């Protein structure tokens, strides 16, 4: 048994002083240090340093580990030149992304307090690293393929990867399905994958309405994607529409990534069907996709997470860097309220979306924690979320299932 005694604990949406947490693999009790010591006289007591704040471990729901080798290769600024650069450099980037590099990337995430992450897996090359990493991994096997000539082969490959991740489920892997996007997945295989998700109770994620170009292609069969599809697939029509794609997920609450270009009607539909959104502010900025109007998500009660996306469209997977960007990007929101919502968007909200027994400091939850230290004493308890986001680069300690990592 360990008793962790920080200065402040984020619990039930507020910051509390003079309480500590006792845990083994799971949280056993939350009470004053004196009472916990009485109850568990043999527990090891760890005092947090001055101005320490304890949070539930952080959850980053969307990233691409396989693209961790990108630093200065891919073209930023606009979506289509970026996608072209991905296609031109994909083989080389994935080839040089060896286990050592992916292990380092996971370690870096751990230092920013990430105890669970969602890995979008295009090729399955990161499975071994994800099995070994101390973090829990929602392993999203990605399905891609819009061209009928290739869909069967691509679907078979997807199934093999999915089954391999299911075989790894005893090693902290939570098998799941990712649909690449509406423009790149044929409805025939989309249906097959969603049937599997329903039958086997697997979580689903999908990139959706990331760029203006995607919207133009799906809506008007025009824009920059027309040249792209002519060049690579000899196609001049999309395989689906926005409405048809969205409707396919009616019975499968899905974690849609980006959704920057959705209109009000589509957002209302997403809310009605109990979907959620992964919001990647730095990726959206770097690929010229625009700003997700989170004020609309808040008004519609659409749960959203803050996620980093991969190093293919970001400069770090440090979740504090992402929270700082979100704080600045959504400048019209109340600073204190937004800060708390951002903390919830990497703890309790993703835990609820993915049915994880974590994301909250509460008896019975997994003992996943991120302990941070503020540079000096906060003047008021209510500003701690904001001060945490502004000042934290790395955590002091991180625990997963009660083990310090």
Catalytic residues: 210
Under rule CB under 6 A, which residues in 164-183 are in contact with ligand BEZ?
183
Question: Which span sits near ligand BEZ by CB under 6 A: 38-46, 143-151, 296-304, 390-398?
Answer: 143-151
Task: Find out whether 306 and 281 touch, Cβ atoms under 8 Å.
Answer: yes
The distance in angstroms from the start CA to the end CA of the chain is: 16
**Nearest-CA neighbor of 263 among 330, 218, 305?**
218
| Cα(187)–Cα(183) distance, integer angstroms | 10
Quick one: tokens of 330? 């959504």
| Cα(95)–Cα(320) distance, integer angstroms | 29
- Closest CB 263 distance from ligand BEZ, rounded Å: 23
Residue nearest to Fe ion (CB): 309
| Cα(5)–Cα(49) distance, integer angstroms | 9
Smaller CB distance to Fe ion: residue 161 or 365?
Answer: 161
Task: Find out whether 308 and 62 touch, Cβ atoms under 8 Å.
Answer: yes
Question: Which span sits near Fe ion by CB under 5 A: 42-50, 236-244, 295-303, 306-314?
Answer: 306-314
What length is written for the chain?
A: 405
The binder of ligand BEZ chosen from 146, 165, 261, 325 (CB under 6 A): 146
- Closest CB 309 distance from Fe ion, rounded Å: 5
Smaller CB distance to ligand BEZ: residue 151 or 173?
Answer: 151
146 binds, among Fe ion, ligand BEZ, none (CB under 5 to 8 A by kind): ligand BEZ
- Closest CB 283 distance from Fe ion, rounded Å: 7
144 binds, among ligand BEZ, Fe ion, none (CB under 5 to 8 A by kind): ligand BEZ
- Closest CB 313 distance from Fe ion, rounded Å: 7
245 binds, among ligand BEZ, Fe ion, none (CB under 5 to 8 A by kind): none
The binder of ligand BEZ chosen from 145, 175, 281, 359 (CB under 6 A): 145
Helical segments of 221-334, H only: 224-233, 242-248, 264-272, 281-286, 294-300, 319-329
145 binds, among ligand BEZ, Fe ion, none (CB under 5 to 8 A by kind): ligand BEZ
| Cα(398)–Cα(371) distance, integer angstroms | 6
184 binds, among Fe ion, ligand BEZ, none (CB under 5 to 8 A by kind): ligand BEZ
Smaller CB distance to Fe ion: residue 112 or 257?
Answer: 257
The binder of ligand BEZ chosen from 51, 52, 184, 254 (CB under 6 A): 184
Under rule CB under 6 A, which residues in 213-242 are in contact with ligand BEZ?
233
Smaller CB distance to ligand BEZ: residue 183 or 304?
Answer: 183
What is the longest distance spanned by two Cα atoms in the chain?
73
Smaller CB distance to Fe ion: residue 23 or 245?
Answer: 245
| Cα(149)–Cα(123) distance, integer angstroms | 20
144 binds ligand BEZ (CB under 6 A): yes
Question: Which span sits near ligand BEZ by CB under 6 A: 16-24, 139-147, 170-178, 211-219?
Answer: 139-147
List Cα–Cα distances, 68 to 74, 90, 108, 207, 323, in angstroms: 12, 11, 12, 19, 20
The residue whose two tokens read 């974590």 is 358
Size, binding site for Fe ion by CB under 5 A: 1
Tell the burial category of 393 from Cβ atoms under 10 Å away from its Cβ (0-12, 13-18, 19+).
Answer: exposed
Residue nearest to ligand BEZ (CB): 146
| Cα(376)–Cα(378) distance, integer angstroms | 6
**Nearest-CA neighbor of 342 among 65, 17, 13, 63?**
13
> Which spans of this chain sit near Fe ion (rule: CB under 5 A)?
309
């Amino acid at each position: 048994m360990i008793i962790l005694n920080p200065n402040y604990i984020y619990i039930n949406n507020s910051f509390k002083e003079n309480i500590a947490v006792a845990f083994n693999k799971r949280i056993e009790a939350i009470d004053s240090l004196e009472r916990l010591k009485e109850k568990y006289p043999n527990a090891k007591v760890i005092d947090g340093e001055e101005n320490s704040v304890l949070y539930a471990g952080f959850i980053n729901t969307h990233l691409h580990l396989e693209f961790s080798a990108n630093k200065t290769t891919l073209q930023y600024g606009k979506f289509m030149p970026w996608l072209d650069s991905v296609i031109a450099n994909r083989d080389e980037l994935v080839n040089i992304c060896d286990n050592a590099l992916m292990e380092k990337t996971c370690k870096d995430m751990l230092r920013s307090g990430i105890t669970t992450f969602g890995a979008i897996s295009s090729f399955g090359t990161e499975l071994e690293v994800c099995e070994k990493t101390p973090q829990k991994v929602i392993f999203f096997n990605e399905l891609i393929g819009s061209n009928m000539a290739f869909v069967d082969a691509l679907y078979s490959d997807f199934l093999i990867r999915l089954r391999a991740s299911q075989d790894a489920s005893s090693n902290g892997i939570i098998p799941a399905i990712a649909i690449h996007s509406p423009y790149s997945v044929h409805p025939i295989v989309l249906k097959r994958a969603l049937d599997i998700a329903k039958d086997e109770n697997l979580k689903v994620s999908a990139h959706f309405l990331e760029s203006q170009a995607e919207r133009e292609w799906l809506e008007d069969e025009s824009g920059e994607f027309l040249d792209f599809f002519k060049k690579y697939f000899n196609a001049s029509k999309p395989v689906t529409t926005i409405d048809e794609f969205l409707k396919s997920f009616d019975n499968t609450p899905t974690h849609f990534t980006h959704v920057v270009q959705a209109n009000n009607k589509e957002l209302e539909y997403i809310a009605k069907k109990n979907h959620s959104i992964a919001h990647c502010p730095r990726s959206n900025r770097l690929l010229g996709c625009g700003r997700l109007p989170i004020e609309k998500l808040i008004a519609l009660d659409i749960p959203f997470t803050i996620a980093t996306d991969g190093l293919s469209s970001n400069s770090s997977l440090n979740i504090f860097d992402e929270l700082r960007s979100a704080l600045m990007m959504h400048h019209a929101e109340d600073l204190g309220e937004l800060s708390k919502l951002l903390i919830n968007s990497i703890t309790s909200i993703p835990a609820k979306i993915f049915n994880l027994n974590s994301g909250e400091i509460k008896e019975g939850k997994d003992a996943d924690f991120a302990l941070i230290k503020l540079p000096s004493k906060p003047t008021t308890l209510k500003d701690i979320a904001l001060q945490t986001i502004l000042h934290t680069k790395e955590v002091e300690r991180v625990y997963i299932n009660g083990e310090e990592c």
